[in-house]
Chains A and B, each alone.
Chain A
Amino acid sequence: EAQVTQNPRYLITVTGKKLTVTCSQNMNHEYMSWYRQDPGLGLRQIYYSMNVEVTDKGDVPEGYKVSRKEKRNFPLILESPSPNQTSLYFCASSSGGQPQHFGDGTRLSIL
């Protein structure tokens, strides 16, 4: 089954403790992207990747890092999380400008 898998689905952590949210897709898609969703602000793009070793900033990249060492994986790294990064995060993938497939989301709470 074609899918985008995010882990963990839920995480409560404390300020400053490094965390990684993993994203994996099994569709051999070149393009992957991370979004955060906050009430009243819709979906905002954090980072995207056009292919392996190619990443670029979206609209809200501050405080986040990403890497794309393999085609299927696109982890989101919060080196020093802060409370304003409490949000619902979605990973998505696509190929050749075709529709994006989204994961089920990761709800992060940073205390």
Chain B
Amino acid sequence: DAKTTQPNSMESNEEEPVHLPCNHSTISGTDYIHWYRQLPSQGPEYVIHGLTSNVNNRMASLAIAEDRKSSTLILHRATLRDAAVYYCILIRAGGTSYGKLTFGQGTILTVHP
């Protein structure tokens, strides 16, 4: 199964951009890169996902390396409400092991006022 590697923790100041990295060197061609975040005492919530091209939505941007072996979640202006655990996972769209997911431990983001 394709695995992801993220830093255990990162810190940011409020109103500043945050770049959360994720390495997925064993990614396969049908793996989508998904980002979720988990606020304290809540279930994970979807943030963004992409396959090859960079993606933007109202919450964040996703920058995907050309070789797809790494990606970066970008929060353009961090707020205190963005403090959470961020998970980068690979979701396979077809082939074997479709549906089997590995979340990893994620990155704990601390945002300072």
User: Footprint of B on A, CB under 8 Å?
Assistant: 31, 33, 35, 40-45, 48-50, 56, 58-59, 90, 92, 97, 99-105
Contacts and interface: CB of A to CB of B under 8 A. Distances in A.
B32 A43 contact: no
A90 B43 contact: yes
Contacts of B45: 102
Nearest to B92: A97
Interface residues of B, number: 22
Contact of A99 (B49, B93, B99, B100): B49
Nearest to A35: B103
B99 A31 contact: yes
A59 to B, nearest CB: 7
A102 B44 contact: yes
A59 B102 contact: yes
Nearest to A30: B99
B87 A42 contact: yes
Given A42-B104, A97-B32, A102 B99 contact: no
A50 B99 CA distance: 7
Given A42-B106, A97-B32, A99-B46, 16 more contacts: A31-B99, A35-B103, A42-B104, A45-B100, A48-B100, A48-B101, A49-B99, A90-B43, A92-B43, A99-B36, A99-B49, A100-B44, A100-B46, A103-B43, A105-B42, A105-B43
A102 B46 CA distance: 9
Given A90-B44, A97-B93, A33 B49 contact: no
A103 B87 CA distance: 17
A94 B43 CA distance: 15
Contact of A104 (B42, B92, B93, B103): B42
Nearest to B85: A42
A50 B103 contact: no
Interface string B74-113: 0000000000000100011100001111111110000000
